[in-house]
Amino acid sequence: MTVVLALLAAATALAAGMALVYSAIATFMRVWRRAQSKGYTGPFTPAVFLTAIFTGLLGSAFLGAVLIRPARDVIVGLSMVLGIAATLAGLALTVHLIPARTIRSGSRQRPRTPFRALGNLAATIPPLVMAALLLNGKPATVGIQLLLPMAMLSVLCHSAARRADRIGAPPADPRPAVVWIRGFGNERRLFAFRQRTKGETQTRPELTKLFPRRPDPMPFDDYFAPTITNQLGRGYGLGNPRDYLPPDGIDRHYATDDSWRHQFADLVADSRCVVMAPGDWPELRYEFGVIRNLGAHRRLFIFTPPATKARQIRRANLLKGFRHENWDDLATALGDDCGYQLGPDPGPGAVVTFEEDGHAVVLLRGAEEPSDYVAVVLRHLADVERQTPPEQ
């Protein structure tokens, strides 16, 4: 009986600890995303956040271990929990009080951070430290310990430099665009699991160094980017004006705050099709209205996430600070006065488009791979093109 009670107590403590860790990470991610939504997106922001967390953790451990009750591990653990909670509360209050940065009104500029120089510097630090230690007759232990963190930092800096080079670069693909619409606040919401292609790992070598070769949870644009590029067209979309660097995935056009509506209409008019996932964002009704006015709603496709590992995706999104959004959220946000009739939830793995009168049509259910979605889109676009009379 004593053994059973001890096991139950240990299991309860473990579950409580995991719940606390999960809550702390989710709170941290929500505060971080709130700071990003206010325009604090540069490399300085994560450095401040992580420094605050480690300072709170170490400070509370020192307080519990030295100043309060040195002999009680429970007191030390409790003080660390309270320290992290106080640190997160302080970060949340700070982010709530700081003013939002003004959105730029001019053309997009390349960040001034010298990412390549920092990456090269990080790569040279470990061998220099080892050489200095060996020349002074000391073991090179410190230099060896620096190899892994400096290598990761170097890879991330060179990845940031590659992303910065994409700002203002003309599209290399002359094909009509496959326009992706979404809310900027939900841009990195996870959509589904997919194994990265060999082309992706060649273009982005940091993936092979930081992540193993296995299916990874990905946002919408990352999930579909290779298949859309290979089979459908050039993935494209308006970029978040608060981006410090363009995310990987589809190409992004950074319009100014006073011109994005006109440029969005031009982008949709010249596109091959428009794709999206169910969601809710402030510009949703306006963008759907533009698509309907241009007669492009028959080339609008809504993809619902596949059923495979849907629970893991939902938990990961909650951990990242994204609330769950589904078909009902889209229907509520769109309303009944925009000329669309969405109908009931089509279920997982669905491809939904619209007839001429705005009624939704489910083209596919149960899709599991990006190619399943894109194959249906290609067939439907071929039908639309056959039914569209040629321009005089």
For the stretch 14-43, pLDDT in tens is 777 777 777 877 888 888 778 877 778 777
- Identify whether residues 7 and 76 lie together within a single domain: yes
- Is 376 a domain residue? yes
- Identify whether residues 243 and 318 lie together within a single domain: yes
Which band of pLDDT confidence, cut at 50, 70 and 90, is reported for residue 90?
confident
- Identify whether residues 211 and 338 lie together within a single domain: yes
- Identify whether residues 288 and 192 lie together within a single domain: yes
- Is 374 a domain residue? yes
- Identify whether residues 81 and 150 lie together within a single domain: no
pLDDT attached to residue 62:
64
- Identify whether residues 148 and 279 lie together within a single domain: no
- Identify whether residues 310 and 339 lie together within a single domain: yes
- What residue spans of the chain are helical by DSSP H? 2-37, 44-62, 73-97, 115-135, 141-165, 198-203, 206-210, 220-231, 260-269, 284-293, 310-319, 327-334, 370-387
- Does the pTM of the predicted model rise above 0.75? yes
> Residue 244: how many CB atoms within 10 A of its CB?
18
- Identify whether residues 212 and 328 lie together within a single domain: yes
Query: Final residue of a domain: which of 65, 97, 129?
Result: 97
- Identify whether residues 279 and 198 lie together within a single domain: yes
- Is 214 a domain residue? yes
- Is 305 a domain residue? yes
Eight-state DSSP code of residue 299: G
Q: Average pLDDT, stretch 194-201? A: 75
For the chain, the domain total comes to 3
> How many Å separate Cα 257 from the centre of its chain?
22
pLDDT (tens digit per residue) in 110-160: 788 888 999 899 889 988 888 888 888 888 787 788 888 888 888 888 888
- Identify whether residues 223 and 319 lie together within a single domain: yes
Report yes or no: 308 and 194 within 8 Å, Cβ to Cβ. no
Q: Which domain holds residue 139?
A: 115-165
- Identify whether residues 202 and 334 lie together within a single domain: yes
- Identify whether residues 266 and 353 lie together within a single domain: yes
Query: Final residue of a domain: which of 67, 97, 127?
Result: 97
